[in-house]
Every structure is written in structure tokens, then in C-alpha cells.
Amino acid sequence: MMVAERNEMHQTERSGRSGATQGRADAAEAEITIRDMALEDIAPVFHLGEQLFTPDRWPTLYRTWDQSEVASLWASSTGTCLVADRNDEIAGFALGSIIDKPHGAWTYGYLLWLGVDPATSRRGIGGRLIRELTRRFRARGAKMVLVDTEAENKAAISLFRRVGFGEERPHVYFALRLSDQSEPEVEVPGELSSDEEAHRS
């Protein structure tokens, strides 16, 4: 899966802010609570994702985001799902999963989806969600946290770097429009084509 966040990831700290401005920022920060996602949060999280993962901006995310994805992660024993709660409204979410390979030496945490309401941007919500998710992953035995995003999502990449992610690898997404062409022929290893059969006979 992929991860996208909007607006909030452009947040930068400025040391020249006045004490009054800092006080207001601290008060706003105090309004946000990071907690476990509950059953009643599934619909609000899904609808916030619909606002963020739009077909014009993030077509791949739009195509793979649906309510069953949110519900299955919440219900899964390997899922770790958090929300940012602001006065009983969902201001953001982080949905992840534990990958425990049966014959592997390591357990991994995978941050699958991250979203923050643009109305609560510039409050560090994305970073807080990632740090809490990382803490939960570590408590469940994870040795590494994985995340991926589209190369054009510079804001997400900047955020992930700021909270400590590294070891970047190129990743390419493909799409095949089935309505635009006939069913592709698939070669089966060891199977001869009609020309090869004729030549053999």
C-alpha cells in the first residue's frame, strides 16, 4: 500500500515565534489526542481518506482506498490503527500492520495509510501519529518500520525523513486498463506455440 498526507507535512518549526504564538500552538497541540481507532471511527476515517486520496491528486491511492480496507485492518490481529482525536472529531489517522515472517529473524511494522485533515494542518499531527505507531510496533516486537509513498509526494517524503526514515529505494507503480484491450496472452513455460508445433511435426 501507499501513504499520503496533505498540507500538514509542510510544517516547519520557526524559532522566532513569540511566546504568545507559541502558547496558542501549545494549546492547539493539547487539543489533539492520539488514541486507538474504535469501531465507530471506521466511517469517519474512511470519509476523511476519501477527501485526501482524490483521483486527480493521488489516483493510485484513490483506487485502493475503500471502507473494507479500513475495517479489515481494524479487525485484524496484526493491525495497529490510530486516530488523532480533536474534540471528538477525527483529525487524522495512521493504519499499520505487523508483518511476522514465519521463518524470518525479524518482525516488521508496516505503515500502510496516513492521513491528516487539512483543517488541522501545521500542528504536527502526522509526526505524532507516526511516532506513536512506531512505539506500538516496537512494543509488539518489530525491529524495523516500513513505509512507501509516491515519488511525487514530496511533502510525505520530507515528513518521513524528519521522523527518521531512511534507506530509500525506487518504486514503480503500473496499471493495466482491461477495458482498453483484449485479454493478454500469457506464455506458459514449456508450452509450444502453434508455429513451434508445426515445425516440430
- Domain membership of residue 180 (yes or no) is yes
Res 46 pLDDT > 90: yes
Please compute, for residue 23, the number of CA atoms within 13 A of its CA located in the half-sphere on the CB side. Answer: 3
Look at residue 3 and tell me if it is in a domain. Answer: no
**H or E stretch covering 109:** strand 107-116
Contact 82, 74 (CB under 8 A): no
CATH of the domain at 183: 3.40.630.30
| 146-9-53-140 Cα dihedral, nearest 10 degrees | 30
**Considering the domain boundaries, does residue 146 fall inside one?**
yes
> Residue 159 sits in which domain range?
8-200
Q: Is residue 1 part of a domain?
A: no
Report the range of poorest mean pLDDT among 20-29, 144-153, 191-200. 20-29
Tens of pLDDT, residues 164-179: 999 998 888 888 888 7
Pick the residue with more confidence: 170 or 162? 162
Total of domains in the chain: 1
Q: What is the pLDDT of residue 104?
A: 83
pLDDT, residue 179, reads: 78
104 close to 54: Cβ distance less than 8 angstroms: no
pLDDT band of 3, cuts 50, 70, 90: low
Give the range among 49-63, 152-166, 168-182 with minimum mean pLDDT: 168-182
- Establish if 2 belongs to a structural domain: no
- pLDDT recorded at residue 83: 98
Assigned domain for 19 exists: yes
Single out the residue of 93, 89, 53, 95 nearest to residue 74, CA to CA.
Answer: 95
Q: Is residue 38 part of a domain?
A: yes
Instruction: Kindly report, residue by residue over 59-81, the tens digit of the pLDDT.
Output: 888 888 999 999 999 999 999 99
Q: Is residue 34 part of a domain?
A: yes
